[in-house]
Structure 1
Amino acid sequence: MSFTSFVFFLALVWSLIHGLSHVSKRSRQLLPLYPDAVRRRAAFWNMKHCRATVSLLHLRITTSAFNAYHDLLADKFAGKRYPRLTTLSRLFYNLGGVMGVLGMCGALAALTWMTGCSVWSVARKLLVSSVDNASLESHILLRRGLPEGGSNLHRTSSSYPVIAPIIPGVTVPLDHLPLILLAVFLSQIIHEIGHAIAAALESLPAVAAGVSFIVCIPAAFVTFPSEGLQVLSPRARTRIIAAGPFHNLVFWCILVLFGRVGAGSLAWSVIGYDNVGDAGKVVLDVDAESPLYGHLLPGAIITKLDDTSLGTSNLSQDIWTTYLASPEIRPTLGWCIDGKLLEGTDACCSTPVDSTDASHLSCFTGARFSVDVQGCLDPIPILTGRNETTRCSEECASGMVCAKAGPETQLLRLTVLHPSKEEAVVLWSGPRSEVWAEVTVGTWIPRFRVLPHSLPWIWETFWQ
C-alpha cells in the first residue's frame, strides 16, 4: 500500500463516520430536547449500554456492558468459596508491583544514560566544529586511512545505545502499519484487562470500558471511580496501577516461550503449510512497479542468490537479508568462455554503470596467458545458462578464459524454482538492496491452493 492510498483510505473511513454522525443528529432533531442535550449533542450512537462520540478525527466508544462481569469476578474474589485463588492472585499482582517499581527505576536509569550520551555527542560535535579547517582535514584523512574496523573514536561513538524507532515507511515498510496498529491495540486490551482484574481483586467497581481512535491510532481504556481508588491502601493501588504493564510483560514471556518450543511451526504444519526453508525462500509478493514483477511469481522458490544457497535449517539465520544488505561480493566462480570474446571493446568497463551507452553489455574480466584481460559481453546468455558454459575458479581448457563479471556491473543471479517445478535463472541489474525492498519472501508454502501464501508471513510479522 502506498502512502497516497493509505491517506485516501483514511479519508474515506472518516468521511463515512462523520456521515453517520450527521444522519444520526438530523434524525434526533424531531425529538424533544433533554436537559443534557448540549452534552449529548456529539453522540451519534447511544444504545442502552453503549455510547459513541465523534469529534474531528477522534472517535470514542464507551460501554458499561462488561460491568456485570466485572462485579461477578469481584464477588468471587471477595467470597469464601475461592480463598486460594484470591491469595494466589494477590501474590501475582504483588509481584507485578515489584516488577513495576524495578522497571520504572531501570527506565529512568536508561533514560538518564541516553540523555548523557546525547549531550556528550552534541558537545563533542560542537568542539570538533570549532577546530580550524586544516586540523579538520587532517582528522578526516586520518580516519579514511585507518584499517578496517575503525579507530577507538569510531568504536566509542557506535557503542552508545541507539533507539531504533518503528516508523512505517521509514524504518519499516508502510505495509507493516496495519499489523503494528493491530499489535498495539491487542497489547492495550491485555493491558486494560490487567487493570480490570486487579481492581476486581480489591472490590473496586468499574465505571465503563471502551476504545478510541485518533486518526488511525487505536486505544483501549477502562475507568474506575476516583473516590473508590483513593480509599484503597497504597499496596492495593500499586497492584491496580502496575497490573497493566505486568500483564504485557507476562504476555511477552508467553510469546517468547511459544517461539522457543516451536509451537508456531507445529501449528502451521497442522493447518496445511510446508516449511521449505531447507530449499530456499518462497516468493510471497513483488512490488507491482518492480522490474522483477512478472518474473518472480508468488509461490516460486528462490534457491540461490548468485552461488549462495538460501537453504538452511537454522530459523535464526536470514541468508536472504544478509546477502542482499551486505556490500557487493565478487563471485568466487566464473564461466569458461572463448578467450577471443574478451578481445573486443572494453568501453563498458570504463563507463559508469548508469550510462545508457552499451547498456546491454557488462564488463567481464579474466586472465589469458597470465595477462589480465577485460571485455564487454552480453551477460544474459552467460549468467542465465541459456548456452552451455562450464563453471571455473581459475583455469579453463586451452583457448578458454575463466571470466567473471566485475563488481561494478551490479549483476545478481536469482535461481528460481517455479511452481511448475521448472528451474530458471533471473538476472537482476542494479543495487541488490532494491531486490530486498521490492520482493517479500517467506519459508512456508501452502499444500492447498485455497490457503494464501502470505498468511504465515503476516502472522510472523505481527508477532515480531
Structure 2
Amino acid sequence: MEVEARRIRRFVPQRPSHRTILPLHASSSSHNVSNTISCWYCDYKICSFNRPLFHFGRRYARFLKVWFSIGVGFALSAVLGVTLVLLWELARTLHLCAGSNKLGSFARSLLFGIPPSVPGLSLSLADTGYACVSTIISVFMHELGHAVAATSEGIQVEYIAVFIAILFPGALVAFNYEFLQTLPHLTALRVYSAGIWHNAVVS
C-alpha cells in the first residue's frame, strides 16, 4: 500500500503552492497565475504550462533520461575543469608557479565565457541589446532544462516564475524538492545539471 501511495503521489498533478519564505504580499489574479509584489521583489507565476510539460516529460522519459545523463557527465567535467582553473589562478596569485597569461586567458574564456581584456574595447547599444537577448534565451533554456528533467522523472512542476529581485531579473521553476530528495542520487543530478547542460548546448 505504501508503494502504491508513493506512485500515486508521483504521477498525480499537485495544486500549485503559493507559500513563500519571503515576507511578501501575494495577490492572485486567476487560478493559474499568482503575482508576488514587495518593495525589493516581484514575480509573475505561470501554471498553465504545468500539464503540457508533465505530459511531454513522461511521454519521452526514456530518451530524456539518456539526454540528461549526458548532461550529468558534462556538468561533472565542467566542475572539474573550473576547479583546476581556480587552483591554477590561485597558484599564480601566490607565485607558486609561473604560468602563461595566454593559457590562463584561454581557459577562462573557454570555461567562464570571459574573453581576454582588449584595450579600448567598448560596447555599443546594439551589443548591449544582443547581450540582453542572449541572456533571456540563456535563462529560458536553463529553466526549461530543469523543468523537462524534473517531469521526465515524474516530478510535477508547481509553477514557472519570472522575477525581479532588487534590480536583477531572473526566472525559476518550482517543483516538489522534498520528493526530489527521496529519489536516487543520479536522478537528482539529472535534474540539477539539466540547466547548465542546456546552456552549453545552446551556446
Q: Quick check: 2:36–2:43 contact (8 Å CA) kept in 1?
A: yes
Give the aligned partner of residue 249 of structure 1: 200
Matched, 1:102 2:45: no
Cα distance, 1:218–1:182 mapped onto 2, change above 3 Å: farther
Q: How far is the alpha carbon of 1:174 from its aligned partner?
A: 5.5
In structure 2, the residue corresponding to 1:207 is in which secondary structure? strand
Give the aligned partner of residue 114 of structure 1: 89
How large is the Cα RMSD of the aligned pairs?
3.1
Q: How far is the alpha carbon of 1:110 from its aligned partner?
A: 0.9
Q: Equivalent residues in 2 for 1:267-416 (5 A)?
A: none
Q: How far is the alpha carbon of 1:46 from its aligned partner?
A: 2.8
Q: Deviations over 1:42-78 (max 9, x none)?
A: 346632211222333533111212111123224424x
Q: Quick check: 2:24–2:38 contact (8 Å CA) kept in 1?
A: no
Give the aligned partner of residue 150 of structure 2: 199
Cα distance, 1:160–1:195 mapped onto 2, change above 3 Å: same
1:173 pairs, out of 106, 109, 123, with: 123
CA distance in 2, matches of 1:171, 1:209: 38
Q: Quick check: 2:57–2:64 contact (8 Å CA) kept in 1?
A: no
Q: How far is the alpha carbon of 1:195 from its aligned partner?
A: 1.0
Matched, 1:55 2:38: yes
CA distance in 2, matches of 1:225, 1:250: 26
In structure 2, the residue corresponding to 1:221 is in which secondary structure? strand
Between 1 and 2, higher relative CO (CA 8 Å, sep ≥ 6) is seen in 2
Q: Equivalent residues in 2 for 1:172-251 (5 A)?
A: 172-173=122-123, 175=125, 176-214=127-165, 216-251=167-202
In structure 2, the residue corresponding to 1:246 is in which secondary structure? helix
Q: How far is the alpha carbon of 1:102 from its aligned partner?
A: 0.9
In structure 2, the residue corresponding to 1:70 is in which secondary structure? helix
Cα distance, 1:214–1:171 mapped onto 2, change above 3 Å: farther
Q: How far is the alpha carbon of 1:177 from its aligned partner?
A: 3.0
Q: How far is the alpha carbon of 1:90 from its aligned partner?
A: 1.9
2:62 pairs, out of 87, 96, 99, with: 87
Cα distance, 1:158–1:102 mapped onto 2, change above 3 Å: closer
How many residue pairs end up in the alignment? 173
Matched, 1:46 2:21: no
Give the aligned partner of residue 104 of structure 2: 161
Cα distance, 1:166–1:60 mapped onto 2, change above 3 Å: farther
In structure 2, the residue corresponding to 1:104 is in which secondary structure? helix
Q: Quick check: 1:185–1:218 contact (8 Å CA) kept in 2?
A: no
Q: Which structure is higher in strand share?
A: 1
Q: How far is the alpha carbon of 1:117 from its aligned partner?
A: 1.6
Amino acid at match of 1:200: T
Q: Quick check: 2:32–2:47 contact (8 Å CA) kept in 1?
A: yes
Percent identity, please.
Answer: 20
Q: Deviations over 1:335-360 (max 9, x none)?
A: xxxxxxxxxxxxxxxxxxxxxxxxxx
Which one has the largest radius of gyration?
A: 1
Amino acid at match of 2:85: A
Q: Deviations over 1:388-411 (max 9, x none)?
A: xxxxxxxxxxxxxxxxxxxxxxxx
Unaligned runs of 5+ in 1: 1-35, 78-85, 125-152, 253-464
Q: Which structure is higher in helix share?
A: 2
